[in-house]
Amino acid sequence: MPLEIPKDKWPGSVRTVTLGAAAAEGGTRTKTVTIGGQTAMPYLHFEASPPHPPAVAVEIKSRPPEDWSPLLLEAWGELVNDPAAWAKKAEEIGADLIVLALTLADRPEEAVNVVQSVLRATGVPLIVWGPGQAEKDNELLVPVAEAAKGERLVLGICEDKNYRTIVAAAMANGHLVQARTPMDVNLSKQLNILISDMGMPKDRIIMDPTTGALGYGIEYGYSVMERLRLAALQGDAMTQSPMIVTPGFEAWKTKEAKVGSGVPEAWGDWKERSVNWETITAITLLESGADIVVLRYPESVARVKQAIQELMTA
């Protein structure tokens, strides 16, 4: 008797979201990225293949990063002093998206300039993060949103205590928003409701459920993402946004990636270990439903893209 694999049929699906706008849509991107649209749990091809592959984003900063691992600085070299060149390089090595993180030191006009120069240097869609301090985020992201009107940027990071200004700026200028909540299904849902209540179309919201690196709480992040995805497939409209996560940021915070000396020899080669940490974190998160993974190390991009290709093959 042939074995029949039971198949789940879900009433809901993940919302399809497009980042970036080409000239025809009022932007300047040569490529746009569409994510979401899944109607089954991740990569269960016998139920339904995902209509779009997940995207890999590379994180760059408006100013040379001060707290990054020496391995990252070594890998990008002089590029860290020139965000436009850095972004261009990232695109060349396969980044589908660029994340440009602004810093506290940036003034509004500098932020606008750096965003525009990165847009000129690249053809892929852009995600712009404020420095992560409510007032400063609002001060920088509002002029950026206006200057890049129509580009369908993703503006972030919205949190429950500070989302109104960013959402309003994104709505007025045709951008998307990244909504971050601290590893909790209900909180993700709540922030989505708050943002939608302002009138933001739901297909312009990307959820950031927050995660941890391998060995540093990834299982919590994994479980939250899995439950968000299950809720989405069950038809809960407020959990149907695609998900963005930051394995690069998380992995490069760990001691294993950050520290090269004074660690047990059994840990092996520093660089190899660090890249593994970042890629395994990223791939694990893809398996739990991530639609965008934000990476930092150049070599990780190729490895994760390879894994995506394999995951997308039925």
Residue ranges in contact with other proteins by CB under 8 A: 160-161, 164, 184-187, 189-191, 193-194, 197, 238
* Closer of 199 and 262 to other proteins (Cβ): 199
* Closer of 176 and 185 to other proteins (Cβ): 185
Consecutive H or E run containing 245: strand 244-245
* Closer of 90 and 238 to other proteins (Cβ): 238
* Closer of 32 and 162 to other proteins (Cβ): 162
Task: Work out how close the CB of 232 gets to other proteins at its nearest, in angstroms, rounded to a whole number.
Answer: 14
For the chain, the 3-state helix, strand and coil shares in percent, each to the nearest 5, are 45, 15, 40
Structure tokens at 306: 């390879």
**Cβ contact 242:291 at 8 Å:** yes
Task: Work out how close the CB of 163 gets to other proteins at its nearest, in angstroms, rounded to a whole number.
Answer: 8
How far apart are alpha carbons 53 and 253 in whole angstroms? 27
Burial state string for 50-88 with b = 16 or more CB within 10 A and e = fewer than 16: bebbbbbbbbbbbbbbeebbebbeebbeebbebbbbbbb
CA-to-CA separations, 69 to 15, 54, 104, 157, 158, in angstroms, rounded: 36, 26, 20, 23, 26
Count the Cβ atoms, other than its own, within 10 Å of residue 236: 16
**Locus of tokens 């991530």:** 290
Task: Work out how close the CB of 146 gets to other proteins at its nearest, in angstroms, rounded to a whole number.
Answer: 18
Task: Work out how close the CB of 236 gets to other proteins at its nearest, in angstroms, rounded to a whole number.
Answer: 9
Task: Work out how close the CB of 113 gets to other proteins at its nearest, in angstroms, rounded to a whole number.
Answer: 29
* Closer of 113 and 190 to other proteins (Cβ): 190
Task: Work out how close the CB of 198 gets to other proteins at its nearest, in angstroms, rounded to a whole number.
Answer: 8
* Closer of 44 and 134 to other proteins (Cβ): 134
Cis peptide, bond prior to residue 5, ω within 30 of zero: no
